[in-house]
Amino acid sequence: MKTKFSEAVGISVPIVQGAMQWYSRAELCAAVSKAGGLGIMTAKTFESAEDLRAEIIAVRKQTDKPFAVNISMLPEHAAEAPPDDYFKVCIEEQVPVIETAGRKPDQFIDMIKKAGIFLMHKVPAVRYALSAQKIGVDAVTLVGTECGGHPGMDGVSTLVTINKARRELSIPFLAGGGISDGNAMVAALALGASGVVMGTRFLLSQELHLPEAFKARLLAAQETDTMLVLNSLRNTMRSFANKTAMQCRELEDGGASLEELLPVISGRRGLQAMQDDNPDDGLLALGQCVGTIDEVLPVSEIIARTMDEAKDALSRLNAMWEAE
């Protein structure tokens, strides 16, 4: 399958792995790229830019296919290298694609373009996509409120967001949020998307190595088992509705300050929860489409199955037309 985006970045299927802090490591990223999609690593997973460099090298040892690095400029309230250092390493290592998120990457555009790197920017609304298009990004990822992570403050669904984007954008755009299979992928492409982003689906892949208790809880989760937190900080996050997320909501409802919230929302706490195999501790970004996932599969099978489902969906639609 060819789209403007897939041809521009040199991938054979228009499926992009969502950037998941702590989880998007070399093995997952390389597996997605080897299967024809675009694997992504998250720069903020690594405390230093040199740690990121080592992981980029690890990906290249596993595949020569295109991959990306996500550099988020959202506030995460944790110690980390400045974005400048991550950009510098990506340029030095000639990473094929950079995905930015948070504030616009204005100050980095020239250096990225000069290096010949494809730049995509992740946003939660069309108005931000238009702004990113204006400064010269090559593509945008649009996420709806269904997505895990940061869906913005508007609460607008993916279907509405990308349908509007088709009318207003001239650069390719990807659809994220609520997409876990080929049926949803076809719906997104029909509305004008040039590809899809799947995060939660790859969270339950064999290459991610989730601890057993985490796997069991997520496989049993329904589409109603996520919740929005951090609204009070204007940094809304869709998280697994575990004990920590509920505690966070209670604190916010009570008017808690950032200082009071920090021990609960710390990314380090979420990482420790995974290491301890305690799915009730820490915030875990999770999309509503978790309710459509019932097994852990190899990345290659997830992508192959998604493409088969997409073909079946198109066949069903064609049969409807032919029936007339």
d(CA 110, CA 96): 16
> Where does residue 315 rank: exposed (0-12), middle (13-18), buried (19+ CB within 10 A)?
exposed
**CB proximity list for 118: less than 8 A, separation 6 or greater:** 8, 9, 96, 97, 98, 138, 139
Calculate the dihedral angle through the C-alpha atoms of 303, 305, 306, 311, rounding to the nearest 10 degrees. Answer: 130
Q: Tokens in use for 245?
A: 């997320």
Q: What is the pLDDT of residue 104?
A: 87
d(CA 206, CA 223): 21
- Taking 90 as the threshold, does the pLDDT of residue 108 lie above it? yes
Mean pLDDT of the chain: 94
Phi, psi torsion values for 322, nearest 5 degrees: -65, -30
Q: What is the pLDDT of residue 103?
A: 86
Q: What is the pLDDT of residue 79?
A: 45
DSSP lists the bridge partners of residue 16 as: 38, 197
Q: What is the pLDDT of residue 83?
A: 84
Q: What is the DSSP letter of 170?
A: -
Q: What is the pLDDT of residue 324?
A: 63
> Where does residue 52 rank: exposed (0-12), middle (13-18), buried (19+ CB within 10 A)?
buried
Q: What is the pLDDT of residue 250?
A: 96
Counts of helices then strands in the chain (DSSP H, E): 14, 10
What's the one-letter identity of residue 311?
A: K
Q: Which stretches within the chain are classed as H helix?
A: 4-9, 26-34, 49-62, 83-92, 109-114, 126-135, 158-168, 182-190, 200-203, 212-220, 243-253, 258-265, 267-275, 299-323
CATH number of 4-209+296-323: 3.20.20.70
How many other C-beta atoms can be found within 10 angstroms of the C-beta atom of residue 262? 13
Q: Single out the residue of 91, 20, 22 nearest to residue 271, CA to CA.
A: 22
DSSP lists the bridge partners of residue 86 as: none
**pLDDT tens string 232-244:** 999 999 999 999 9
Read off the pLDDT band of 77 (50, 70, 90): very low
Q: How far apart are the first and last CA of the chain?
A: 27
Q: What is the pLDDT of residue 303?
A: 98
d(CA 199, CA 204): 9
What's the one-letter identity of residue 179?
A: I
On whether the CB atoms of residues 16 and 197 are closer than 8 A, the answer is yes
On whether the CB atoms of residues 38 and 217 are closer than 8 A, the answer is no
**pLDDT tens string 260-300:** 999 999 888 988 998 899 999 999 999 999 999 999 999 99
How many other C-beta atoms can be found within 10 angstroms of the C-beta atom of residue 104? 17
Read off the pLDDT band of 81 (50, 70, 90): low
Percent of the chain predicted with pLDDT > 70: 97
The domain locations on the chain are: 4-209+296-323, 212-288
